Amino acid sequence: MSELYKLGIEAAAKGLAKGDFSSVELTQAVIDRVKAENPRIGAYLTFDEEGALAAAKTADEARANGRAGMLLGIPVAIKDLINVKGQPCTCASKILKGYVSPYDATVIKNLKAAGATCAGRVNMDEFAMGSSTENSALGRTVNPYDVTRVPGGSSGGSAAAVGGDMCIAALGTDTGGSIRQPASFCNCVGLKPSYGRVSRFGVTAFASSLDQVGPMTKSVTDAAFLLQALAGHDEMDGTTPDEPVPDYAAALAGASLKGVKIGLPKEYFIDGLDPEVKRLTDEAVAKCAAAGAELVEVSLPHTEYAMAVYYIVAPAEASANLARFDGVRYGHRSEKSDNVFNLYARSRAEGFGPEVKRRIIMGTYVLSSGYYDAYYGRALKVRTLIRRDFEAAFAKVDALLTPVAPTPAFKIGEVQDPLTMYLNDLFTIPSSLAGNCAISVPAGFTAGARLPVGVQFIGDAYREDKLLRVAKAFEEAR
Ligand code: GLN
């Protein structure tokens, strides 16, 4: 079997450009790998083999006619909440079983325009609510580094596909950590762009003031290539500003940590951190220092409120967003209803899983009259304070370095209590609330179990160029 599936974007694009192999060969290698590994790992929910090969052939023909480009002929795995015309889009929920997308999301349009192929759909927590992919209603995904453990979530299928070499790169989404935490668990690079940097049009909404699509890749350079295709203004998403997109790959040239000011937020280096995560984070700090970075202790004093704010704001927005799944317009419709109220209630009761119901109930509660000001209104105010913490920090430093998650990948079934599960996102949620960009980069493996662990760099809003430079320099320093 050809081992081309091991390549990332950069190496695959080079090989394709030199004519070492064709996109059809590359795609076939990925398909063979998926067939061999997916029964064990469960990263993909569906894979349109014919479509993938047809798109690869078209890419090869375009190349023969003089077309070039980093993504031309590259297969990218797509998280199952991003619409790709003609493919299922289930959000790993029973309520959308059988739903087929009538249009391409803007990110997909952009990828296709760059020549990438989007044929495989990867598993996730239902509607992106979760941290282990165990909330998927449609299948189990395991960690390719240890199949008794979770891949993280909610973009667990994307991370398992990248970490298990079942794709060249993948798209994930991140609302409170769903790109970064699974990237850390599966040894990949995961970039959450700044809020508004990437269009959300055609991406099933969870919490609209937080959601972002981003790259999950085998290297920082690959993340830059993918972000280039994703980022920019979209008239279909009013939160994407009409601002120029920097050349991210060019920004990586000569990346170095010399003189770079890296902030260490003291609120993130807490007791209760897994000792191996702590060791690898400390090692990452030491490597940055050895590579010439200047380390600065900073404080983000409102960090302790971030979790509470997120679990008010995100469910509130989710309860509104998920009202559209009513059994009338999309997906599952209950057979048992005799009137319209029962049609809504029963379709939703049968279609949504327990975590989604929990979020809808919490969200409806915090928005209800009498509680709105006390919970939702107050959470918005505290969110502003959290954003100001980051603004103050970035007046002093170029990037922040923190752990990604408090632990490495945990065992399947190990975390039963929702509140313990929520704690996975302790370190990723604050920057989501603030709208900053942040990236998880592999930092090494735990002693003993040999589980991958990532380190998080957080960047100033809309400075992905700068953040990627820091991440790239760290990747090289390792
Ligand atoms: N784990 C968090 C949650 O369940 C974040 C999910 C996400 O970023 N989509 O809400």
Which atom of ligand 1 is found nearest the CA of 174? 8
Pocket flag, ligand 1, residue 177 (CB < 6 Å): yes
CA–CA–CA angle 379, 383, 385 (5° rounding) = 120
The three-point CA angle 449-454-455 to 5° equals 135
Rounded CA separation 66/451 (Å): 44
Closest CA to 80 of 137, 29, 24: 137
Q: What's phi and psi for 82, nearest 5 deg? A: -105, 125
CATH of the domain at 41: 3.90.1300.10
153 CA to centre of ligand 1 in angstroms: 7
The answer to whether residue 154 is catalytic is yes
Decide: 130 in ligand 1 pocket, CB within 6 A. yes
Distance in Å, CA 127 to ligand 1 centroid: 9
190 lines ligand 1 (CB under 6 A): no
Out of 203, 310, 425, 426, mutate this one to test ligand 1's pocket (max ligand atoms within 8 Å of CB): namely 425
* Radius of gyration, alpha carbons of the chain: 21
> How much distance in Å is there from the Cα of 131 to the middle of ligand 1?
6
- Domain hosting residue 168, numbered range: 1-478
Span from the CA of 470 to the centroid of ligand 1 (angstroms): 25
Output the six-digit token pair for 101: 């997308």
pLDDT recorded at residue 457: 99
Does the Cβ of 212 fall within 6 Å of ligand 1?
A: no
Nearest CA to 79 out of 41, 53, 108, 99 is that of: 108
Q: For ligand 1, say whether the CB of 176 is within 6 Å of any of its atoms.
A: yes
CB contact at 8 A, 46 and 88:
yes
- What is the DSSP pairing of strand 117-122 with strand 437-445? unpaired
93, 124, 125, best to mutate for ligand 1 pocket (most atoms within 8 Å of CB): 125
* Ligand 1 in reach of 154 Cβ (< 6 A): yes
Is 79 annotated in the active site?
yes
Cα dist from 107 to 59, 77, 199, 273, 363, whole Å: 18, 13, 7, 36, 28
Q: Which residues have C-beta within 8 Å of that of residue 13, sequence separation ≥ 6?
A: 69, 70, 71, 72, 74, 225
pLDDT tens digits in sequence order for the chain, 478 residues long: 689 999 999 999 999 999 999 999 999 999 999 999 999 999 999 999 999 999 999 999 999 999 999 999 999 999 999 999 999 999 999 999 889 999 999 999 999 999 999 999 999 999 999 999 999 999 999 999 999 999 999 999 999 999 999 999 999 999 999 999 999 999 999 999 999 999 999 999 999 999 999 999 999 999 999 999 999 999 999 999 998 999 999 999 999 999 999 999 999 998 889 999 999 999 999 999 999 999 999 999 999 999 999 999 999 999 999 999 999 988 899 998 889 999 999 999 999 999 999 999 999 999 999 999 999 999 999 999 999 999 999 999 999 999 999 999 999 999 999 999 999 999 999 999 999 999 999 999 999 999 999 999 999 999 999 999 999 999 999 8
Q: What is the pLDDT of residue 1?
A: 64
Q: Ligand 1 atom closest to Cα of 128?
A: 9
Ligand 1 center–CA 128 separation, angstroms? 6
Number of domains in the chain: 1
156 Cα–ligand 1 center, Å = 11
**Catalytic pick from 22, 23, 93, 154?**
154
Q: Can you tell me which atom of ligand 1 is nearest the CA of 314?
A: 10
The predicted pLDDT at position 269 comes to 93
Residue type, 11: A
Residue type, 24: V
Burial zone of 448 (CB within 10 Å; 0-12 exposed, 13-18 middle, 19+ buried): exposed
